[in-house]
Structure 1
Amino acid sequence: MRYLRHLTIAAAVSLAISPVAFAQQSDTASGKRFSVVGSATILQPDSDPLPGSRIDIDGDVAPTLSASYHFTDNIAVEMWGAADRFNHRVRGDQGKIGTVDAQPIALSGQYHFGDADNIFRPFVGLGYHQTNFSREDLSSLNADGEHVSLTSPRGAVGTVGVDMNINPTWFARVDARYLDGKADLKQAGETVTRDARINPWTVGVGLGARF
């Protein structure tokens, strides 16, 4: 699939921007290579996706999961995504227009500051994402009742966060992400509006484990 090719490229880029990962000691000082995190995450799209159209997309909360491979205690590659769909209500001047579901997935390179046993460990990340839209119910945007859909936005994703170590295995996490990307609005399969600025940000609170 096309988006898998993009994620593969993103993985290569993530590794390329962190060459020191291979120059350092091959084993992490903590002895732990993998980590997983489950979070409750708020996703809020851009408040003005179609400038001049007076259309707004409400945010939603959904579970998200991430899995990371740590080359060192400081450098990792993370796969992050929604475990369920975010359901967004689309509103205009006259009230509710319809709904659409979104399910993002992202691959990022990350840098975790400090030593593995520090209580607080901030981190930053940069990578690539794709958000898949489904279950669009936007036919009220068209007087003829034809199906209205959105293409999948793709683009850069930036991450900031902090882990709080509970013990050598368990930690709590708070993170925020910005997903850059535009979508086309289609009516009966034909593009009617290009480059709707979805550009959501997320805030997540979760629990993780290292092993």
Structure 2
Amino acid sequence: MTIFRTLTLASALTLATTPVLAQEGGDTASGKRFSVVGGVTLMEPHSDPATGLDIDGGPAPTLSATWHVTDNWGVELWGAADKFNHRVRGPEGKIGTIEQQPIALSGQYHFGEADNTFRPFVGLGVYESNISNEDIAGGGDHIGLTTPRGAIGTVGVDLNITPTWFARADARYLRARSDARVGSTGETVASDLKLDPWTVGVGIGARF
């Protein structure tokens, strides 16, 4: 519901700024080669990363910067400005927490003309996530997770407010595996954990 409310507000802002766009005359989004977006993202890991385990999702602020090679093609660097916090649960309930901070590099294609009110886009790239502050019960031993690395897919839409400012909603799927290891010995106690989170985010951006 939050995403829908945000898009509704952004649509209202677009209608409200239509006269302003007309007055700006020659200003256009076309030809602007850099954009930045700040927002908030909800990350939800795979509901069943291993038999008997569940990892809850959570929100975090995110940032992205894109170099627009052309009006349609771009290269985006996206990542979390803070850590996502996840609660780990087993059959008996909560068994610990982990934090992660992903970063990704993707190629993107933006559909339509640069000045269109709505501009859908898709992206494909690679990511890795820094797993930290693991606090998982393991019979007295510290259990750590290896760094997941893999593919990321993105779909989203930009809502142009002015030639410079726009609102964004996006969804991403991050696919990778991680191993759980005992910190003192390095012994693997669980392999190929399916973290595979998806994210849903909203934000405000500017292009230059």
- Aligned pairs for 1:1-211 within 5 A: 30-50=30-50, 52=51, 54-138=52-136, 140=137, 142-143=138-139, 145-188=140-183, 189-211=186-208
Contact 2:111 2:120 survives alignment (8 Å): yes
Q: Using the alignment, how far apart are the partners of 1:159 and 1:57 within structure 2? A: 22
Q: In 2, Cα distance between the equivalents of 1:175 and 1:127?
A: 15
**TM norm structure 1:** 0.83
Please say if residues 29 and 72 of structure 1, whose CA atoms lie closer than 8 Å, have aligned partners that are also in contact: no
Check conservation: 1:58, 1:88, Cα contact below 8 A.
Answer: yes
1:10 equivalent in structure 2: none
Aligned partner of 1:8 in structure 2 is: none
- Aligned 8 A contact 2:121 2:156 in 1: yes
> Paired residues, what number?
179
Q: Which runs of 5+ in 2 are unaligned?
A: 1-27
Q: Which residue of 1 aligns with 2:18?
A: none
What SS is found at the alignment partner of 1:100?
A: strand
- 8 Å contact from structure 1 (residues 68, 76) kept in 2: yes
Deviation at 1:190, TM superposition (A): 2.0
CA-to-aligned-CA distance 1:119-150 (integer Å, 9 cap, x gap): 00000000000011000001x1x22x111010
TM-fit CA distance, 1:72:
0.6
* Letter of the structure 1 residue corresponding to residue 180 of structure 2: L
Q: Distance in 1 between matches of 2:71 and 2:30?
A: 7
Distance 1:70 1:206 in 2: 18
The amino acid that maps onto 2:196 is N
Tell me the residue number matched to 2:17. Answer: none
Partner amino acid for 2:133? R
- Alpha-carbon distance between aligned partners in 2 of 1:158 and 1:31, rounded to the nearest angstrom: 26
Q: Does the CA contact (< 8 Å) of 1:161 and 1:173 recur in 2? A: yes
Distance in 2, Cα, partners of 1:29 & 1:85: 33
- Aligned equivalents of 2:191, 2:95: Cα separation in 1: 19
Displacement of 1:101 in angstroms is 0.3
Structure 1, unaligned runs of 5 or more: 1-27
Q: Which runs of 4+ in 1 moved over 2 A?
A: none
Q: Quick one: percent identity of the two aligned structures? A: 67
Match of 1:17 in 2: none
